[in-house]
Amino acid sequence: MLILLNVLIAMMADTYSLMTSQRKGLYNYGIIRAVPAYKVSKHYGGLLIDVFPFSVIGFLLLPLYAMIKDKTRLIQLTKTVYMLLYTVVALMLSVYYLIANLLMMPFAYLKTCGHKISLLTKKRIGLANCLLYILIGLPLLIVAQATDLYTFLLVSFSTRKRYQSDDIFVITTAQFDEVHQILLEANEKWENVQVIDVVLLIRKAFYVEHNITVTLYGNDMQPPKGADSNSIENKLVGVDTA
């Protein structure tokens, strides 16, 4: 019994050690898999879209929802109620969004100016690039608030299906072989290769951005056809410093 108990403890400790190193990935994976469970119903979701005390309006609409049996009319009613009631939430969030952005904008501008100056001292950017941002960086940040707010409202009011939880993405042997072959060719031509170019190559070959987008927002976009490795390989041409 003692031997079996020790074996059990050892197995549990080994499993715990393995899972501890992967706990963040497992946690994020669980959140992504649970997202579809919280989707708003396309037939009755309009009743839950608003916050208190405006949610009372949704409560008053319950008899109307109960009388309508046609699914198509229910979907149309839900979309209408959604647009009307969510406007209140969107306006409140928009005000908070603009205030928070305006408060943080000076800090973001100063931080970016410091970063530009640091890059200039390391001779990674030119003087004109640095001076141009210092002069017009703040106005550009202010103008960007309008476009960001428009995008925020556009996405917020969208009723299309966004989440996709059934697709499990895998990395194929062919993708590994492709990256390996390109790196071998680079090794034969140049002594050193910049790390950023290798990262871009791997991201492109493994469709990292596409897979993340599909996982979070659904599979409306068609998957890329063939690994676009030529453009990445061309970026390695002429690189002679690490």
Per-residue pLDDT reduced to its tens digit, 138-152: 898 888 888 888 888
Q: Using CA atoms, how far apart are residues 212 and 200, in angstroms rounded to an integer?
A: 15
> Is 220's pLDDT higher than 80?
no
Spell out the residues 6+ positions from residue 50 whose beta carbon is closer than 8 angstroms to its own. Answer: 57, 58, 85, 86, 88, 89
What is the pLDDT at residue 211?
Answer: 74
Per-residue pLDDT reduced to its tens digit, 28-60: 777 777 766 667 777 887 777 767 777 777 778
Upstream peptide bond of 53 is cis (omega within 30 degrees of 0): yes
What is the pLDDT at residue 159?
Answer: 56
What is the pLDDT at residue 109?
Answer: 92
- Confidence grade of residue 103 (pLDDT, cut at 50, 70, 90): very high
Tokens 């119903």 — which residue?
Answer: 41
pTM score, two decimals? Answer: 0.45
Domain spans of the chain, in order of start: 57-156, 173-235
- The tokens describing 7, both together, are 């074996």
- The mean pLDDT value for 75-82 works out to 84
Q: Using CA atoms, how far apart are residues 169 and 210, in angstroms rounded to an integer?
A: 11
